[in-house]
Structure 1
């Protein structure tokens, strides 16, 4: 009986270990190591920590096919033999950064079809075979920067059409055959950070900023639009709205583009002669400017009169405030966890879910 007892415990321990995930992320250095992950952790769906694949001879990511969440970063750098991201088709959230850099053979992002949120920076840089962004159509939220740089074959970013929130900076830089920014039309908020809110620079074939946000896009930081050799149309609703009321102290750099977009004054002049119908779109009156939040919730409103009521996950009211027009901060320092923010003004009413760690 004792022998049977200990055997049962041993079998239980083995079964238990197979149901777990690695305790501190993954640092992948070979294909064999990556393949062993699926054998060792066949039921793992959440990796707590970072997944780093750097300077490795990796040809496929199939062993990650069960992963839904990575709480830390996913970094794939200098992996020349990787042609696609197959194996990441179930990945929905990345807690911090998602970096694809110097992945020279990468031709498609189609495997990222389930991705909805990147908590930190989403960078696609120096991927010379990448032609388009199709595949990231469900991505809605980037907590810090959305960086698209040095992709010499990139012709389209239309796959970003559901992206609405960028927590700091949007950069589209040194993509020599990209001709337009269609795919960014639904961005409602670019919060801005130390490096600014928007950088459109060094895109040799870019002729127009059409597709960049809309009349109700809010940007609150520096803007650089420079050294785009064929760019002549910058007077689009998002830029015109920004130039009407830039954030205090913002540095605006518009130069070395073609006539019509070669200075701030040229763009402002072009904005004044646009038909007002060009700016007519469905009004989105309220926007949350960050999520998760810390001690204050920043909310942008196009309306001046109304209320902001904040509830916790149990439906208890934790704060009631008068709605103010523009960007204003509302205290949530006495709350934690999942919060429901209900904003109401006249005919408009909207509820948001935000997280306060």
Structure 2
């Protein structure tokens, strides 16, 4: 009897050890570059450090069916995967999660991750049609730590036609970026509220309005949300609600005629850039007087049919209280250059 009990204890101990097998190396990357190499991690329940699955013959993630957590980052790239079947046990990622450059990946099916601390990047997936499996995702940077400047970035996915799957996010991290998604026509599928530091929409060519777009709130302790809206086809910003804005960039929006929706926003700066919006002649949606008094950088030029800074080829712009009646900035050239640099930074900080 004692011998049987001892054997049972040993067996249970072995099972428990197998159930909590750690792989990888703390602080380092583990590179898995083939299907045969992936098979070596079949019993792993947690990865120390970071892991990159980067192999042109990788077509099956089922060897990772027991994996529940990764200490740092995960990258899945340059594989033959059609989806993410095999990762259904993965619950948490301690840093960033990159899914990119997988030419056959049409969906994220199989993914059930709930927490990603450092940010999610989904990009350069030419046949990706659905991100609905992100419905299990609840938190990106759940503690709002400034250590992680990123959040959710989805860009350069030409076949993606819906944002369904994001509705259960309770935190979205310190940045939210949607760009180069030509089949996204509306914002259905987004969470009810978005709290972030940097917000960028760029090259969403079939989005006609901000209808159903959730309110944007600033992270506590910051001066507002840095808002960038560029290369969009919207005619107005109606539906966009941002109580406090830090930096504001509105550029190259070919159909934009009104920014009146920003009347209810407090603009804290330090930078405002409104350029290359050919039909925007009325700036009554913003009041930059207080910003100018505080020494903010204001670059408003080449709008309203203008092709050069300081000239007006269309109707005289109206409503901008802190600028001359022409609506053109008189800020020195080096300030304009600085604003241009800031614009590039905010537009690419998520990449």
Which bin holds the TM-score, normalised by the shorter protein?
0.5 to 0.7
Q: 2:195 is matched with which residue? A: 189
- Structure 2 residue 252 is the aligned partner of structure 1 residue 256: yes
Give 1:174-213 correspondences, 5 Å limit: 174-190=180-196, 192=197, 197-213=198-214
* TM-score, normalization by structure 1: 0.61
Query: How do 1:38-49 and structure 2 match up within 5 A?
Result: 38=42, 42=43, 44-49=44-49
Q: What secondary structure is seen at the aligned counterpart in 1 of 2:241?
A: helix
1:89-110 deviation line (CA, Å, top 9, x unaligned) = 1111111011001111111112
Give the alignment partner of residue 137 of structure 1, picking from 128, 132, 135: 135
The answer as to whether partners of 1:28 and 1:56 remain within 8 angstroms in 2 is: no
SS at match of 2:118: coil
Unmatched tracts of structure 2, length 5 or more: 1-10, 142-149, 266-351
* Aligned equivalent of 2:103: 104
- Of the three residues 40, 60, 84, the one matched with 1:36 is 40
Tell me the distance in 1 between the aligned counterparts of 2:12 and 2:109: 39
Q: How does 1:214-293 map to 2 (within 5 A)?
A: 214=215, 217-218=217-218, 220-228=224-232, 230-236=233-239, 239-242=240-243, 245-246=244-245, 250-257=246-253, 259=255, 261-262=256-257, 265-268=259-262
Provide the residue aligned with 1:27 in structure 2: 31
> Structure 2 vs 1, CA of residues 258 and 28 (structure 1 numbering), >3 Å: closer, same or farther?
same
Q: Deviations over 1:5-52 (max 9, x none)?
A: xxxxxx9999898553224163201101111221xxx2x322122111
**Aligned to 2:235, what secondary structure does the other structure show?**
coil
Residue in 1 that maps onto 2:90 = 91
By percentage of residues, which structure has more strand?
Answer: 1
1:262 and 1:94 map into 2 onto residues whose CA distance is: 43
Q: Please state whether the residue corresponding to 2:31 is helix, strand or coil.
A: strand
Unmatched 5+ stretches in structure 1: 1-10, 272-357
Aligned-residue CA RMSD in angstroms?
Answer: 2.7
Going from structure 1 to structure 2, the CA distance change for 1:218 and 1:16 (only over 3 Å counts) comes to closer
Q: 1:257 to 1:62 in 2, by over 3 A?
A: same
Aligned partners of 2:63 and 2:86 also within 8 Å: yes
Q: What's the TM-score once normalised by structure 2's chain length?
A: 0.62
Are the equivalent residues in 1 in contact too, given 2:237–2:260 (CA < 8 A)? Answer: no
| Number of residue pairs matched by the alignment | 239
